[in-house]
Amino acid sequence: MEKVDAIIVGQGISGSLLSAQFLKNGKTVLVIDEEKEITSSKVSAGLYNPIVFKRVVKSWMIDELLPVLNESYEYMESCCNQTFHTKRKIVKVFVNEEEKAQWLKKSEDQNFNQYLGKEISEQDFDGCIKPHHGLAFVNNAGNVNVKLLIETWANYLKTKHSYIANHFKYDDVHLTEDGVKWKDYEANHLIFCEGYTAKNNPFFPNLPFVPAKGELLTVKIDNLFTAESVLNKGVFVLPEGHQLFRVGATYVWDKIDEEITSQAKEELSQKLEKLIQTSYTIIDQKAGIRPSTKDRRPILGKHPKLPQLALLNGMGTKAVLLAPYFAKQLFEHLFKGKDIHPEVNIARL
């Protein structure tokens, strides 16, 4: 029987970041993943934004999250000899004068200095975007190519003999006095990072998940050149190179499946056409299910009665931003006894 410090179930964004914490800190880990072709992580555009545009406020905990984000992805990129994290500016296109005035007022606040650009531009990207009320830039934003991260990290885990492609069955888990056994492995901790499918986990029943289906388009816009910047006005338009852009995203809570729909295609097309005034071609469309929660906060921590079991989940729409910080927090909780943030601690439920 092989002994590891932890078994992690699921290699989405949370499972990947958590396993990276283990390896970075000299711990042994086994990651089990079913390798589904479509998951919310693999479909995600991986965009993160330090500003909530609706009220022009800072995203929750952004000042604490960003340093860990940069540190975590740099470590994983160095391990994989691959680049999947790109720092970008987001171009906020104002829909009216009130929105612009609100932005200018907030940009004078020193707490927003590192995020909000103070200059208002009338740029139209060579006539590709429709007339507007000005635009401004958000700094310290970016995106992660999550599909590439997952694929390259899985390969790296395999070189460490820390990965198994397998359909995980809960009945194969045998609890011991101070750990767990699964097939030919023994571990001190069994940690579930299963995304929305955690609703079927018998060890953690009745978790307050509110899964949200999201769809994105990949489009080709021949005349639009935004370099590394992301356009935002109703939808985001994320450059992927070779005049390809990701456009998203939709939110649906009443029909949870991974099928693409004509309704989402129409919704995203209409919003895109309110922003640009040049022709485009739809290349692809994908759907995924986000593991959102009722209070829009992640869920992590030990099982209340079975401390050898733990959970890291519920990252929702901001997974690439939240997962690095809370993967590190869970690791430090398990091995250093540090407290988990009360707003995300499973004990709050």
Q: Do 265 and 271 form a contact (C-beta atoms < 8 A)?
A: no
* Residues making up the chain, counted from first to last: 349
* Chain mean position to CA 88: 16
Q: How many CB atoms lie within 10 A of CB 123?
A: 13
Cβ count within 10 A of residue 230: 23
pLDDT tens-digit readout, 328-345:
999 999 999 999 999 999
Task: Please check the confidence at residue 286 and state whether its pLDDT lies above 90.
Answer: yes
- Give me the pLDDT at residue 130, please: 93
- pLDDT value, residue 247: 97
Q: Is the pLDDT of residue 95 over 90?
A: yes
Is residue 147 within 8 A of residue 47, CB to CB? The reply is no
Quick one: how many helices (H) and strands (E) in the chain? 7, 18
pLDDT at residue 69 above 90?
yes
Tell me: the pLDDT tens digits for 165-212? 999 999 999 999 889 999 999 999 999 999 989 989 999 998 999 989
Distance CA 289, CA 298 (A): 15
Q: List domains and CATH numbers for the chain.
A: 2-44+147-208+294-348 (3.50.50.60), 89-139+212-290 (3.30.9.10)
- Residue range 9-25: mean pLDDT, rounded: 97
Q: What is the pLDDT of residues 103-160, one digit of tens each?
A: 999 999 999 999 999 999 999 999 999 999 999 999 999 999 999 999 999 999 999 9
Q: Quick one: pLDDT band at residue 223, thresholds 50, 70, 90?
A: confident
Backbone φ and ψ for 267, nearest 5 degrees, come out as -60, -50
pLDDT in tens, 33-64: 998 776 777 788 999 999 999 899 999 999 99
Helix, strand, coil % in the chain, rounded to nearest 5? 30, 30, 40
Ranges of H-type helices in 95-138: 97-107
The three-class DSSP label of residue 253 is coil
The pLDDT of residue 226 is above 90: no
pLDDT score for 43? 83
- For 279, other C-beta atoms within 10 Å of its C-beta total 10
pLDDT-above-70 percentage for the chain? 99
Q: Of residues 9 and 317, which shows the higher confidence score? A: 9
Give the residue carrying structure tokens 């989940």: 313
Asked if the model's pLDDT at residue 222 lies above 90, the reply is no
Q: How many CB atoms lie within 10 A of CB 257?
A: 10
* Alpha carbon 75 to its chain's center: 17
Whole-prediction pTM value? Answer: 0.95
